[in-house]
């Protein structure tokens, strides 16, 4: 099954302009945003991700609907396994204040 997973862009990767740090349900990973270079994605934007590539820019409401749908279909675990397998670089978990 092909999954499109919503994630929120947290920050740009300074040494690679085609990558951004994206948060997916508390897991942060580097995601290739090169396919969206003409859409002007920036921190705070939501994107749909497939195999480590941001495929489209979406709104927050659509992202929340997609997350709910994945959960209802029992696919949330598969989505998290996909996120963990991107291989674009491990990130440290966010530090608590």
pTM of the entire predicted model? 0.74
Q: Please spell the DSSP secondary structure of 34-66, one letter per residue.
A: GGGGGGT--TT-EEEEETTEEEEEE-HHHHHHH
Is the C-alpha dihedral spanning 30, 36, 39, 45 positive or negative? negative
Residue-wise pLDDT for 78-97, tens only, equals: 666 666 655 555 554 444 44
- Computed on alpha carbons and rounded to an integer, the radius of gyration of the chain in Å comes to 13
Q: What is the pLDDT of residues 2-57, one digit of tens each?
A: 578 899 999 998 888 899 999 988 889 899 999 998 998 999 999 999 888 999 99
Question: What is the domain count for the chain?
Answer: 1
CA gap 89, 2 in Å, rounded:
22
Does a structural domain hold residue 94?
Answer: no
The answer to whether 8 and 45 have CB atoms below 8 angstroms apart is: yes
DSSP one-letter code for 89: -
Residue 91 domain-assigned (yes or no): no
Expressed as residue numbers, the domain containing 38 is 5-84
The CATH number that applies at residue 74 is 2.30.30.140
Residue 89 lies in a domain: no
């Amino acid at each position: 099954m092909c999954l499109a997973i919503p994630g929120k862009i947290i920050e740009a990767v300074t040494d690679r302009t085609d990558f951004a740090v994206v948060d997916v349900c508390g897991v942060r990973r580097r995601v290739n945003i090169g396919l969206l270079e003409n859409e002007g994605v920036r921190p705070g934007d939501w994107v749909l991700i497939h195999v480590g590539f941001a495929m489209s820019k979406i709104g927050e409401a659509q992202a929340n609907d997609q997350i709910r749908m994945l959960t209802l279909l029992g696919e949330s675990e598969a989505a998290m396994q996909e996120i963990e397998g991107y291989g674009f670089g491990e990130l440290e978990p966010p530090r608590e204040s």
